Amino acid sequence: MDTHSLDVRFYQIETNKRAKGSSYTVRWKVAHKKHSRTYKKSAVADDERSKLMTAHRKREPFDIELGLPVSWSSRAAEVNWFQFAIRFVDWKWPGASGNTRKNMAKALTPATIALLRRSAPAHFDPVKVRTALREYAFNVNRRNDPDRPVPDEVQTILDWIERNSLPMSALEKTEHVDKVVTALSTRLDGTRAAASSVIRNDRVMNLVMGYAIRHNYLKSNPFPKGKGERTAAKAAPAIDKRCLLNRDLVKRILEWIGKRPRRGRLYRAFFATLYFAGLRPEEAVGLRVGDATLPENDSDWGEFLVHEAQPEVGSQWTDTGEVHEERDLKGRGEGDTRTVPIHPLLVEILRGIIKEYDLKPADLLFPGEKGGMLAGSVFRRVWAKAREAVLSEREFNTPTGKRVYDLRHTCLTTWLNSGIPAAEVAEMAGNSVQVLLSTYARCIVGQRADYLKRAEAHQDLPGLAV
């Protein structure tokens, strides 16, 4: 049966009027099969229809199934999605951060499964299929490691996926695009994924589609771009007030941690740094003793010079093979630094652990048990145990202090509620003023009465008759 045809008929553009605005549908038929595409703007719809009609006037054959000129999809038909995804990862990997690499693999894995011709055979464990894709196919370090070849079981799975992956041209059909969109917004158990995960996947797919268009695998981005269509949910920019800790809870948690045997005082100092200085955990673990200026008088304020972050991304995603990856400060230029004040009480705490552990200026301020970087799995476990031990059952079942990062949220909120100008807080926190206010505005309390008194004084009109 012939898959191409010169028999093409075009119809007038249809206007679809809806409450949220109009859309415009281009309709045409190739041989016996009808096709359509809908656009948000009439000019775009008219332009796409003109391109199709120009190709028809040039006597280009159209693909009956896809409804497009054969020349438009020739390269897309030569390469399947899995092969293309591998090429994209190989292109993006050099220079990408460990977290970017990991996020690419997380997004490409469900997309690849959604673009299979048929479901994987029953003898393939679904978890192992995902692991093979995420940890090997989309991990250049593991896929190309000459000393540790890809396990035979994994290679068998990947070979099957390559044979059964749909061609890139499949993305020109709405049903396949819808499958990918659903896969990227759904958890393994079938429930809706968190908004932050969906938005992260959305960003990765934007990069992937941009690469596909630049290298002529696709003519345009097939994924929906309308507001609310591309992501399953909208991530709330503001933090949940319930995650914040009050001073009494922080004090009791830090006291409990400080009494733990062996390294309790060091962990207490680490968490106190997040609470008093508002550092991100990945910034705190990278601090050296020499980065802290600690006055002799414990009643004076000290200062941190923060100049790097050490996010924990996993050894398989870094070029060095280390669990942590040294990065510049978030949102700052290469080599940029920022200074952060050290509360007098924190000065006292830090001076105590420096003396107790005999730390030198070049040493990590919060070393791990073996002298290396403090592991996130360790300090998160310590925090979880402290929270369970100190909080009441009711408090424990709420978001209060559920994440270590909530100590930073508490600090920044406290600074803002203390009347420190937002620009100053943003500088100390390493945020832009816009991000700071959008994140913490709902947590600023107790200042309205003062502001209204100031406004009253400036707006007063003495002697005005009532």
Residue-range domains of the chain with CATH: 4-68 (no CATH), 77-214 (no CATH), 241-443 (1.10.443.10)
For residue 186, the model assigns a pLDDT of 86
Under 8 Å CB-to-CB from 81, ≥6 apart: which residues?
111, 112, 115, 165, 166, 167, 168, 170, 171
Q: Which of 281, 202, 245, 227 is nearest to 399 (CA)?
A: 245
Distance CA 319, CA 327 (A): 13
Residue 364 pairs with which residues in a beta bridge?
A: 288
Is the separation of the CB atoms in 35 and 28 below 8 Å?
yes
278 — pLDDT class (breaks 50, 70, 90): very high
Predicted TM-score (pTM) of this structure:
0.65
- Percent above pLDDT 70 for the chain: 86
pLDDT, tens digit (0-9, with 9 covering 90-100), for 423-461: 998 999 888 888 888 787 766 655 555 556 666 665 666
Parallel, antiparallel or unpaired: strands 4-5 and 62-63 = antiparallel
Q: Which of 418, 411, 399 is nearest to 439 (CA)?
A: 411
Q: Which of 195, 238, 278 is nearest to 434 (CA)?
A: 238
AA letter at 62: F
SS3 243: helix
For residue 229, the model assigns a pLDDT of 43
For residue 232, the model assigns a pLDDT of 44
Distance CA 187, CA 233 (A): 14
Under 8 Å CB-to-CB from 77, ≥6 apart: which residues?
167, 168, 169
pLDDT, tens digit (0-9, with 9 covering 90-100), for 355-409: 999 999 999 999 988 888 888 889 999 999 999 999 999 999 999 999 999 999 9
Sign, CA dihedral 197-201-206-211, equals: positive
How many residues does the structure list for the chain?
466
Under 8 Å CB-to-CB from 111, ≥6 apart: which residues?
81, 85, 180, 183, 184, 205
Distance CA 349, CA 250 (A): 15
| Helix ranges (DSSP H) in 297-405 | 344-356, 376-390, 393-396
